[in-house]
Structure 1
Amino acid sequence: MPNRVYISFLRLPLLIRILLIALLVFLVFGISIHFVEPKTFPSIFDGIWWAIITGTTVGYGDYVPHSLLGRFIALILILLGAGIVSSYFGTLAAAAVTKQDALSEGKIAFKGEGHIIIIGWNERSRELIDKITRSTSPQMVVLIDETLEANPVHSKFVHFIQGKGHVDETITKSNISVAEKVLITADRGNDELQADMNSILTLLTIKGLCSKVKCIVEILTAEQVVNALRAGADEVIQSNKLTSVFMVNSLHSNGDGLLSDFVHQLQESRLSANTVNENEMGKTFIEVCHHHLKEGSLVMGIKRGEETILNPSHSLRIEKHDLLLIFK
């Protein structure tokens, strides 16, 4: 039985072991001084109080042993207690520093929920994280990257995890089961096809661990869009296609940069797809537009099934399952 208790004690964390030893020392010396000098220390509590104050080198002086044996006990307590207490606080400080370093280096698992997971560190994810954390209602972001050695963003709303996105252990650390969304960015350090293969592999890993989480994937080559959808992507962003749209618009414009200005406005506002309420069903598109304009939002079009219609006919009737594309 004693051997089992000793083994159980050794399995405790070092900080807990030192604390238990310190409490035992204070208890033993506090009880001892009470029996050695009962007049000076009327109760066991007074003895324990004196032992704690003396062992921690605070020394209030409210209780002082007068006998030779009592002073000898105090001397041993000072020597023993100072070592134990300093070891305890030293270990506590070391543990705090170690945990802080592990957190910065991406070795600590995330425990929250309702967060956004961003996989891959690049200029796009940097700007996105900056906008999310600086908004009026910032949301927690978990950044996963294998190339970084420490968290690149100094914000309490960003938790960094170091590792490969297609490894189960790394994804599990992000608490994927209770995440709101996942954004997989393309690694432009590789060739485009290899970058898309890595993104799709990461997507398969995530969907294998949690199929219900919404995944947005950046794909560079048009040929791999269908494979990303087959792998379970809820939304595919073709960044190269978006870039080509900007270039074509710039070539055919008079240098006014209207598309760039429009996208800049999107950065400050949000385009969302809202379900139609009962009052809007059966009304014309222009009637719904007027209603939302009074509320300070602009209806740009509708999404009907798989079809997205921008600026539809004003006489188009809104149906039950339509989604309104609203710019706020």
Structure 2
Amino acid sequence: MTNRMYISFLRLPLLIRILVMALLVFLTFGISIHLLEPETFPSIFDGIWWAIITASTVGYGDYVPQSLFGRLTTLVLILLGVGFVSSYFGTLAAAAVTKQDALSEGKIPYKGEGHVIIIGWNERSRELIHRLASSKNPQKIILIDETLPSNPVPKFVHFIQGKSHVDETILKSDIEKAEKVLITADRGNDELQADMNSILTLLTIKGLCSQVKCIVEILTAEQVMNAIRAGADEVIQSNKITSVFMINSLHSNGDGLLSDFIQYFQERRLSSYEVSETDIGKTYMAVCQEFLNKGSLLIGIKRGKETFLNPSHSVQIEKNDQLLIFK
């Protein structure tokens, strides 16, 4: 039984072991000084108080041993107790520094809910993190990346270091309670290889938590369908979007209208809303005017799998339509 208790004690964290031993020392010397000098230390509590104060080198002087054996006991307590107290606080400080380093290096799992997970560190994710953090209602952001040695944005981000297609890494992000996941493409690799890595990460996430919404950046048009098959809720073809902007720039008169449009797009948010009962049967023009009066811009309708941007003004709003709005 004694051996079993000793083994259990050794399995405790070092901080707990030092604290237990220090408390035993205070208790032992507190009782001892009370027995040696009951007049100076009228109660066991007074003895324990004296032991703690003496060992912590505070030494108020409210209780001072008078006998030879009492003072010898004090010397032993100072030599023994100070070591335990110093070790305890030294270990406590070291543990705090170690945990802070582990947090910065991405070794600490995240516990929470309603967070956004961004996979891959690049200029796009940097800009996205900056905009999410500066929004009116910022969400907690989890960044997963295997190339970074430490957290690049410690003020706003909980960093997890590791391969995004490994279960252990994804589970550290508390994936089941996440709101959305954004998988960015690694442009340092060949485009096809980057897409394959993104799809592999998507498969890992959907295998662990099928209900979480995943947005995937795909570089090659050929892999879009594979990303959808893998369970992507939305696919962003960044190369296609870039080429559209380039074509418009080439055909523009150099008046900077495209830059103005991008600035407008950055400052506002595109959202979809279920049509209300009162709007069913109204014309697109009528509903558009209602949103303009509220300071929002209606740009189209999503009906089933089809999206109609700037449809005819006479088109009637139907049940289950989704309104595409800039706010």
Q: TM-score range by the shorter chain?
A: over 0.9
Match of residue 67 from structure 1: 67
1:215 aligns to what?
A: 214
| 2:8 aligned partner | 8
Other structure's SS at 2:313 match: coil
What secondary structure sits across from 1:308 in the alignment?
strand
Per-residue CA deviations over 1:82-102 (Å, capped at 9, x if unaligned) read 100000011011111111111
* 2:98 equivalent to 1:98: yes
Q: Once the two structures are superposed, what CA deviation does each residue of 1:238-284 show, in whole Å capped at 9, x if it has no partner? A: 00000010011011111123233212212121010011111111111
3-state secondary structure, aligned to 1:102: helix
SS of 1:279's partner is helix
Q: Secondary structure at the match of 1:169?
A: helix
| TM-score (ref. length: structure 1) | 0.98
Q: 5 Å matches for 1:233-248?
A: 233-248=232-247
Once residues 131 and 153 of structure 1 are traced to their aligned partners in structure 2, the CA distance between those partners, rounded to angstroms, is 13
Using the alignment, how far apart are the partners of 1:322 and 1:15 within structure 2? 61
Quote the residue 2:196 is aligned against: 197
**Alpha-carbon distance in 1 for matches of 2:268, 2:77:** 67
TM-score (norm 2): 0.98
Cα distance in 2 for residues equivalent to 1:12 and 1:24 = 16
Q: Does 2:306 match 1:302?
A: no
One-letter amino acid of the structure 2 residue matched with residue 138 of structure 1? P
Distance 2:67 2:220 in 1: 88
Amino acid at match of 1:60: Y
| Deviation of the 1:298 alpha carbon | 1.1
Q: Secondary structure at the match of 2:46?
A: helix
Q: What amino acid sits opposite 1:140 in the alignment?
A: K
Alignment of 1:44-83 (within 5 A): 44-83=44-83
Letter aligned with residue 264 of structure 1: Q
1:58 and 1:266 map into 2 onto residues whose CA distance is 63
1:163 alignment counterpart: 162
Matched length:
327
- Give the aligned CA root-mean-square deviation in angstroms: 0.8
Specify the alignment match of 2:286 in structure 1: 287
Kindly state the Cα deviation for residue 50 of structure 1 after the two structures are TM-superposed: 0.6
The percent identity for this pair of structures is 78
Q: Which residue of 2 aligns with 1:124?
A: 124
What is the identity, as a one-letter code, of the residue corresponding to 1:66?
A: Q
Structure 1 counterpart of 2:253? 254
> 1:108-119 to 2 correspondence within 5 Å?
108-119=108-119
Q: Which moved more, 1:293-302 or 1:86-95?
A: 293-302
Contact kept? 2:160, 2:173, Cα under 8 Å: yes
After superposing the two structures, state which structure 1 stretch, 311-320 or 239-248, moved more.
311-320
CA distances 1:190-219 after superposition (whole Å, capped 9, x unpaired): 111000000000000000000000000000
Tell me whether 1:20 sits opposite 2:20 in the alignment: yes
What secondary structure does 2:215 align onto?
strand
Distance 1:292 1:134 in 2: 26
Distance in 1 (alpha carbons) for counterparts of 2:55 and 2:280: 78
Match of residue 174 from structure 1: 173
- Deviation at residue 112 of structure 1 after TM alignment: 1.4
